[in-house]
Amino acid sequence: VTQGWLINRKDDLIWFIGSVVVSYAFLAANLLLVKVGMSVMLVVWVWALGFDGPHVFGTISRTYADTEERRARAKLFYGSFLLSLFGPSMLLLDWLLKTNLFGPAFFFFASLWAYYHLVKQHYGFMILYKKKNNDLAEIDNLIDRAFILIGMTYPFVHFLTHSFAAKERIEAMGVSVESGPAWWAETFVFSAFLISL
């Protein structure tokens, strides 16, 4: 019986829900490498080549490498490609002006965009399950939407205000994470998450 599941119980638990085990495995590997004094870049390379690379190549093979798709959506594809030049141009601007402002600002924006993409993917899966289970009452949708969107925003905001690497980049833009907007943002998002529970 597939009622309530997107595919069926076994496949959903393996591919949609159980796949989080891979994330915890990478976290454990990262912590282990740090403990034994090895570079965490090993985990990054395994992730990039084993998981993210095929994901990106799969996208490219269905878009830029597909002549029919490329012809049908030329403006979208080439416009998107031009957008990808924005990051390198920010680094070039820093180099030309002898500053360290535009690169970190772009990195911050790109990180927000990437995380937004991740959050919206999770939101999409939640909606698929809600639709499959006919759980579409407006108040339930509002509560579930707030819970997942705010709940997934808090870890990112917390990372920005507590991670050494993130603090360094944010403070390079002249923003203090110890007080002011960053502290208030974290407090606000955490409080909103508690309310959504």
pLDDT tens for 128-139 read 999 999 999 999
Q: How confident is the model at residue 177 (pLDDT cuts 50, 70, 90)?
A: low
CA distance 191 to 186: 8
Q: Is 163 helix (H, G, I), strand (E, B) or coil?
A: coil
Helix (H) or strand (E) holding 37: none
Residues 6 or more apart whose Cβ sits within 8 Å of residue 176: 182
- The pair of structure tokens assigned to 74 is 């030329």
Residues 6 or more apart whose Cβ sits within 8 Å of residue 115: 156
Query: pLDDT per residue over 119-160, tens digit each?
Result: 999 999 999 999 999 999 999 999 999 889 888 888 888 887
